[in-house]
Chains A and B, each alone.
Chain A
Amino acid sequence: MQLSEILKNEHVLLDVNVNSREACIDELSKLMENTGVVSDSAVYKDAVLKREEEGSTGIGFGVAIPHGKSSGVEEAGLAFARLSDEIDWQSLDGKPVKSVFLIAIPEEKAGNEHLQILSQLSRKLMHEDFRNKLLQATSSDELIAALDE
């Protein structure tokens, strides 16, 4: 299984306008609720925000990876938003965030497989050329393709 298989086409928002961290998580969890990956976005969002409280998932370089493991999640999922205007995410490097990956992990059967796929995403994000591709993609297809390179 590859990263592109859990980042569905319907989960990608390019140049969306949100004004806060909560609003951004809200938009993305709705997308995953629409495709059935998330069954209860309220429950799932609680888990994500709780994780944010423990420490920001703004990893620097303008990227944030909010994530939550919750019973409101049906299957492992990934959603992406590129923001038209950068927002504050209390990032490690203090810089505002432009790219957001929201990760959904089911409470039960949190299969290792998915966790390992997500660990690949984390590693990729540390590479500048990968981050640039996120910023330059002109379509969701192009963005998803960048994940598997």
Chain B
Amino acid sequence: MKKLLAVTACPTGIAHTFMAAEALDQAAKAKDVSLKVETRGSVGAENELTEEEIREAHAIILAVDTNVDEDRFQGKNVIRVGVSEAIKDPSGLIDRALEMEEKSADEYVEQVQNKKKEKGAERQGFYKHLMNGVSFMIPLVVAGGLLIALSFVFGIDAAENEGSLAYYLMETGGAAFSLMVPILAGYIAYSIADKPGLAPGLVGGMLAEQVEAGFLGGIIAGFLAGYVALLIKKYFKVPRNLEGIMPVLVIPFFATLITGLLMFYIINDPVAGIMGGLENWLQSMTGANAFILGLVLGGMMAIDMGGPVNKTAYAFAVGLLASEIYGPMAAVMAAGMTPPLGLWLATVIGKKRFTNEEQQAGKAASVLGISFITEGAIPFAAADPLRVIPSLVAGSAVAGSLAMIFEAALRVPHGGVFVLFIPNAVTNVLLYALAIAIGTVVTALFVVLLKRNSPQAKAAQANE
């Protein structure tokens, strides 16, 4: 038997969308034809068509007065009419759809494959969700990072003076940074589960931030929240007249509850464990070979940028300042500067590997890099963790170990290039700058090399 599909949508999405859907449903029932109707009203898409259903369908009726994504129907029989047509003459539409010539399944499959090739990974779920989250996060990273960098202009410790302009700049930048992970998680979940995913995603991201799980924790929170919301939407059925409470009450409540508890039970404790373990490990290495200590500290700085591993390395180095051991601090800062600097360099020498948005973010990353604001690298790492993080770790490990070998020493725990102007803050300034430069180049080369076949590179090429 021929199977039909339909999509209905109207500008306000309140009345005609559903009347058309009901009219088509009724007409199909009267004719004993299999028909599934997706409604795209103001409550969002309901009864969504799956890829499998589209593949098996004989034809698709689009009764829409707004733009709907027609790409997914490429290679299929499609009838396109206004929404009122479906209300007026649903059975005529169904007849027309049934009379259309059979298109071979191969044609559709071929089209789908072409489409996938064309758009690269833009359409592949995992990266699509990540990139959605990252694209909402980038403005926060850029604005927050630049504001914090700006506060350094007034002097390296100017921001500690409560009530000063530098203090307010630092606070504002800090506020933007604290939203970074929640927004990342929220919009990953939004991409997965639509509007009902946003609340659990934001909350999950906030918890990741609070338990200091960093952006990697945020990514986990986003996917967790998104799929939990999606599963509830799919499998939790309520009587039709109660459906109204699903998107506003049932899904947000349960998805947030489940995500929140999972964050505490499966993320919080391991994170605390990791931090404790690493701390002991670093303590045991205090007397070890300087080169190895620099390598380890450097790598740790770049693994999760602001997450538990990074924080442990940073805290370790800051702790040593009190004992007048300044080498590890220099290694840590060099390693914290190379990730954004390296990515900036990569966007310059390997433009084609990055989306437009990333190229712009790259410019800001250069400023954040010289200011020792490692977070500038997060959008890149979050969008393509498996390729970017190893590159960052490599560059940072090199920078960290070189800083130790060159016997650079740093007496303040922050500031980036701005400390270079402070007398006696840094020992072996020139060699120290060289260590950072080499680390930057290593990072950039790795990124450009590894991102050859990345989804971003493909997406960027597809856009050309």
Query: What is the bound-complex CA distance between A6 and B241, given in angstroms?
Result: 14
Provide the residues of chain A in CB contact with B247, threshold 8 Å: 112, 116
- Give per-residue flags for A108-129: 1 if the beta carbon is below 8 A from chain B beta carbons, else 0: 0011111111111111011100
Other-chain contact of B18, A57, A110, A112, A122 (Cβ < 8 Å): A122
Taking a contact as CB atoms under 8 Å apart, the answer to whether A115 and B26 are in contact is no
Contact, CB under 8 Å: B244 / A113: yes
> In the complex where A112-B247, A116-B243, A119-B14 touch, is A59 in contact with B42 (Cβ < 8 A)?
no
A67 engages B244 (CB within 8 Å):
no
Besides A69-B12, A122-B19, 13 new A-B residue pairs in contact (Cβ under 8 A), listed by A number: A2-B241, A55-B84, A59-B19, A93-B88, A110-B42, A111-B248, A112-B42, A113-B245, A116-B243, A119-B15, A122-B16, A126-B23, A126-B87
CB distance from A109 to the nearest CB of B (A): 10
Residue of A1, A57, A112, A127 near B15 (CB, 8 A) is A57
Whether a CB of chain B sits under 8 angstroms from the CB of A65 is yes
Q: Taking the nearest CB of chain B, how far is it from the CB of A25, in angstroms? A: 15
A111→B169 CA distance, assembly (Å)? 37
A141–B178 Cα distance when bound, in Å, is 55
Whole-angstrom CA separation of A113 from B43 in the bound complex? 8
Once the chains bind, are B14 and A112 in contact (CB under 8 Å)?
no
B window 221-269: CB within 8 A of A: 240-241, 243-245, 247-249
Within 36-80 of A, Cβ neighbours of B (below 8 Å) are at 51, 54-55, 57, 59-60, 65, 67, 69
Q: Does B22 sit within 8 A of A, measured CB to CB?
A: yes
Would you call A18 an interface residue if the criterion is a C-beta within 8 Å of the partner chain's C-beta atoms? no
- Is B14 within 8 A of A67, CB to CB? yes
Question: When chains A and B are docked, how far (Å) is the Cα of A105 from the Cα of B249?
Answer: 19
A-B residue pairs, 8 tightest by C-beta:
A116-B244, A122-B18, A113-B244, A126-B22, A123-B22, A119-B18, A122-B15, A112-B247
A59 and B14 within 8 A (CB): no
A148 vs B88: C-alpha distance when bound (angstroms): 25
Q: In the complex, what distance in Å separates the CA atom of A7 from the CA atom of B241?
A: 15
Q: Which B14-50 residues have C-beta < 8 A from chain A?
A: 14-19, 21-23, 26, 39, 41-44
Interface string of A98-113 (1 = CB under 8 A from B): 0000010100001111
Asked if B415 is at the interface of the complex by the 8 Å CB criterion, the answer is no
Count of chain A residues with a beta carbon within 8 Å of a chain B beta carbon = 33
Residues in A whose Cβ lies below 8 Å from that of B319: none
Question: A51 touches which one: B12, B39, B43, B65 (CB < 8 A)?
Answer: B12
Which residues of chain B are within 8 angstroms of A110 by Cβ–Cβ distance? 42
Given known A-B contacts A69-B12, A112-B43, A117-B244, A123 and B88 have beta carbons under 8 A apart: no
Docked CA distance A119–B248 (Å): 16
* B15 contacts across to A, CB distance below 8 A: 57, 59, 65, 67, 103, 118-119, 121-122
CA distance A105 to B12 in the complex (A): 11
- Does A13 sit within 8 A of B, measured CB to CB? no
* A135 at the B interface (CB under 8 A): no
- A123 CA to B248 CA in the complex, in Å? 21
B19 touches A115 (CB 8 A): no
Q: Are B248 and A122 in contact (CB under 8 A)?
A: no
> Is B385's CB within 8 Å of the partner chain A?
no
A-B contact list, 22 entries, CB within 8 Å? A2-B241, A51-B12, A55-B65, A59-B87, A92-B87, A103-B14, A105-B14, A112-B43, A113-B244, A115-B13, A115-B43, A116-B243, A119-B15, A119-B17, A119-B43, A120-B241, A121-B15, A122-B16, A122-B18, A123-B21, A126-B23, A148-B241
Binding site for B on A (CB under 8 A): 1-2, 51, 54-55, 57, 59-60, 65, 67, 69, 92-93, 103, 105, 110-123, 125-127, 148
Instruction: Specify the chain A residue showing the minimal Cβ separation from B23.
Output: A126
Cβ contacts under 8 Å, A54 to chain B: 11
Chain A interface, DSSP helix/strand/loop, else mixed: mixed
Q: Is the CB of B244 within 8 A of A112?
A: yes
* Also in contact, A127 and B14, with CB within 8 A (given A113-B244, A113-B245): no
Q: Assess A60 versus B243: contact at CB under 8 Å? Given A105-B14, A115-B43, A123-B18.
A: no
Instruction: Using CB atoms, name the residue of chain B closest to A118.
Output: B14
Contact, CB under 8 Å: B248 / A60: no
Checking B17, B88, B245 against A60 with a beta-carbon cut-off of 8 angstroms, the contacting residue is B88
Pair B23/A1 contact, Cβ less than 8 Å = no
Residues of A within 8 Å of B14, CB to CB, are 67, 103, 105, 115, 118-119, 122
A84 vs B12: C-alpha distance when bound (angstroms) = 30
* Closest partner residue, chain A, to B24 (CB atom): A126
Q: Taking the nearest CB of chain B, how far is it from the CB of A82, in angstroms? A: 19
Q: Which of A117, A126, A127 has the largest count of B CB atoms less than 10 A from its CB? A: A126
Q: How far is the CB of A129 from chain B (nearest CB, A)?
A: 12
B65's nearest neighbour on chain A, judged by CB, is A55
With the chains together, A122 CA to B12 CA distance in Å? 13
User: In the bound complex, what is the Cα–Cα distance between A60 and B14 (angstroms)?
Assistant: 17
Assembly CA distance A60 to B90 (angstroms): 13
Report chain B residues within 8 Å CB of A55: 65, 84
A115-B42, A116-B243, A126-B26 in contact; A92/B84 too (CB < 8 A)? Answer: yes
CB neighbours (8 Å) of A114 from chain B are 244
Would you give the shortest CB distance from A52 to chain B, in whole angstroms? Answer: 12
A69 — which chain B residues lie within 8 A by C-beta?
12
Residues of A within 8 A of B23 (CB): 126
Instruction: Give the docked Cα–Cα distance between A69 and B14 (Å).
Output: 10
Q: Could you say which of A105, A116, A125 contacts B19, with CB atoms under 8 Å apart?
A: A125
CB of B319 to closest CB in A, whole Å: 50
Decide if A122 touches B244 in the complex (CB within 8 Å): no
Which chain B residue shows the least CB distance to A3? B241
